[in-house]
Amino acid sequence: MKIFLSLLSLMVLSSCGIKDMANEARENLRKTGNAVHLQVLTTALQQMLSPVNTESLTPPVRMFPFGDTFAREGTPIEILEVYHTFLLDVKLGGSTNKSRPTSRDLRLASRKISLAAAGVISSFTSQDKFESILNSQIELGGRYEDTAYIICLTRYTYLRDFFLSSIIEKSDRVNLDSVKKAAEYFSQLKYIANLSYLDRIVLHIPQFVVVEPAETEVQPKEEVLEDLDISINPQEYKLIARKAIRRFERDEKLRDLLHNTAEGQALLNVFQ
């Protein structure tokens, strides 16, 4: 009996040790996982904002891979918080030049980079995460409700001007695979254009757009700054759809595929 009790107590004691070790290992794994997660986010942000990747902003293609990584790795709330920070910089950054700000003003350049970063992150965010942001902030009234509206606008603008246009305006050849991608971008655009609160999606940024000197006789030969005011035209996506179909149908082989196969018809229906 004594031996049995000794063995039992030994087993209990050793199992407690194993349990502790397992918990510790799990905690270490969690910490490591978190550290890797944060490292991926930090590196992606650092790279996205590095001078070499922010030289050209029309379009900011060098920021794209890092924006993509950030948006894939980040949770909806992490994406939203970083986006909010960029937006604060864009809107409240102002100018360090107390006289007349010009494009030579480095603050303006920095604000433009922040807006580009916001555009890149919002456009690479998956539809699921995007909808989660809208649900938590707009439907349920979250801390970043104002920011969530602007996310819609930058996402819409970037999807339209860079992602979709790269297929329907800039590509020499369009095939079924690119039509699939265009359909995905278009669905995302259409989703935003049909939001019930579209009238609240408005962006106003004071002193932001540099106006290049136009006619010498009319304007002083000096750059001036204008406010940026942007909203979404609810009918625009219909024009974009027609433009896309015109582009697809320009290619005879693709036109046949789209009209004479079930897959093609389904893709065309996305643009109807």
Residues that bind other proteins (CB under 8 A): 57-60, 115-116, 119, 157-158, 161-162, 168-170, 172, 209, 211-218, 221, 228, 230, 239, 242-243, 246-247
Distance of closest approach, residue 257 Cβ to other proteins, in angstroms? 19
Q: Confirm if 138 and 197 have CB atoms less than 8 A apart.
A: yes
Identify which of residues 1 and 214 has a Cβ nearer to other proteins in the complex. Answer: 214
Identify which of residues 168 and 192 has a Cβ nearer to other proteins in the complex. Answer: 168
Which pair of tokens denotes residue 83? 């986006």
Q: How far apart are CA 217 and CA 93, in angstroms?
A: 33
Q: Other CB atoms closer than 10 Å to residue 146's CB: what's the count?
A: 12
Identify which of residues 180 and 242 has a Cβ nearer to other proteins in the complex. Answer: 242
Identify which of residues 41 and 205 has a Cβ nearer to other proteins in the complex. Answer: 205
Identify which of residues 31 and 242 has a Cβ nearer to other proteins in the complex. Answer: 242
Distance of closest approach, residue 147 Cβ to other proteins, in angstroms? 16
Q: How far apart are CA 231 and CA 237, in angstroms?
A: 13
Distance of closest approach, residue 228 Cβ to other proteins, in angstroms? 6
Q: How far apart are CA 28 and CA 35, in angstroms?
A: 10
Distance of closest approach, residue 262 Cβ to other proteins, in angstroms? 25
Distance of closest approach, residue 206 Cβ to other proteins, in angstroms? 14
Q: What is the CA radius of gyration of the chain?
A: 26
In which residue are the tokens 């992150």 written? Answer: 121
Q: How far apart are CA 59 and CA 69, in angstroms?
A: 18
Distance of closest approach, residue 243 Cβ to other proteins, in angstroms? 6
Helix ranges restricted to H, 52-175:
64-73, 76-92, 106-124, 127-134, 145-158, 165-168
Q: How far apart are CA 135 and CA 140, in angstroms?
A: 6
Identify which of residues 221 and 253 has a Cβ nearer to other proteins in the complex. Answer: 221
Torsion of CA 210, 47, 118, 143, to 10 degrees: -140
